Chains A and B, each alone.
Chain A
Amino acid sequence: MDESVMSIITRMIAVADLEARYLTIAELQTIRDFFEAGQQRLRIANILAANSQTIINTGTQRFWERCPVTPSNSGNPTYRASCIRDQGWYIRLVSYALIEGDTKVIDTVGIRGAKEMYTSLGIPLKNLVECMHCLKEAAMDLLSLDDGMVAMPYFDHIITGLTP
């Protein structure tokens, strides 16, 4: 299948194309639902974008409470800044995936090779995963229950993908 970033729509088209057929009624219904939920997804993505700093700050504090011995909390400003920057990247990826209704962008940009990269940088994966848990919790605190349910799977996808 196509290697590029996908939305729920391009993914379904790619599958139908492999079988040289039109989309089924059920697939079109899924797409219709996705279109309908589009406004909500855009709104949630917007909330995450507008509050990314708050989410990162809360998430980082919580992370350091749970994992005090970790490179970003060692007093080294570069490590600290990198940790914060990467958290921002993951929130951005969640906002993309939310809009696309598909996790491929998270895989392509944020998961594939990530474990190897962080390991080679000396970041304990266990701590990284804890950090993502904290990021997710901080985001959930900001969102309504309804919005949270929509966004949560994408955070979970990151957590699963980075778990050693």
Chain B
Amino acid sequence: MQDAITTLINSSDTQGKYLDDASLERLQSYFRSGEIRARAATTISANASTLVTQAVARSLMYTDITAPGGNMYTCRRYAACIRDLDYFLRYATYAMLAGDPSILDERVLNGLRETYNSLGVPVGATIRAVQAMKDVVSDLLGAEAGKEMGVYFDYIASGLS
């Protein structure tokens, strides 16, 4: 797992160098954004289940997918969908705090599309749900923090497609 800090340290260490000015500049702006990141993470964790419910309501609930024959039909499948969206939200929040998407690759995206395909989970609908989550999170957090979270939802969406 990486974050905005360790990425720069790792590449400096490989070269045996101190951090250069450009790296220091980037770290400074990351540190300056800390208040926003920490506050956003607090808000999301307090509202996580509502956010997932809203995202589902916006994207999947009233489509064929929840009707008999759909991939969210039967409570068990519905619950699996909710659980996965919960994961996406939590990992996107981790990545936002870290200022780095690598945890999404390591813990979420690696092999996910293949898993979904083999289980018959429709990837297109999943992506719509992730995008809906991006919208409801942004509504809750406001533009600045919402934009930062959006980066990681987009990362998940593009990793799935």
Contacts and interface: CB of A to CB of B under 8 A. Distances in A.
Nearest to A37: B31
Contacts of B98: 9-10, 13
B42 A2 contact: no
Interface stretch (B8-16, B128-136, B147-155): B8-16
B41 A22 contact: yes
Interface string B23-45: 01001101111110110011011
Contact of A35 (B6, B24, B34, B103): B34
Contacts of B103: 13, 17
B160 interface: no
Interface string A130-142: 0000000000000
Contacts of A49: 18-19
Contacts of A81: none
Interface residues of B, number: 36
Interface stretch (A26-34, A65-73, A143-151): A26-34
A16 B9 contact: no
Contact of A7 (B3, B16, B33, B42): B3
A35 B35 contact: yes
Nearest to A40: B31
B97 interface: yes
A125 interface: no
A86 to B, nearest CB: 12
Nearest to A28: B38
Contact of B10 (A5, A25, A34): A5
A92 interface: yes
Interface stretch (A93-101, A116-124, A154-162): A93-101
A35 B4 CA distance: 12
Contact of A39 (B31, B37, B44, B94): B31
Contact of B93 (A4, A22, A29, A96): A22
B1 interface: yes
B6 A6 contact: yes
A21 to B, nearest CB: 8
B27 A42 contact: yes
A114 interface: no
Interface of B: 1-3, 5-6, 9-10, 12-13, 16-19, 24, 27-28, 30-35, 37-38, 41-42, 44-45, 48, 90, 93-94, 97-98, 103, 107
6 contacts: A6-B6, A9-B98, A13-B94, A22-B93, A95-B19, A105-B9
Interface of A: 2, 4-7, 9-10, 13-14, 16-17, 20-23, 25, 28-29, 31-32, 34-36, 38-39, 42, 45-46, 49, 52, 89, 92, 95-96, 99-100, 105, 109
The 4 closest A-B pairs by CB, nearest first: A35-B34, A38-B31, A22-B45, A49-B18
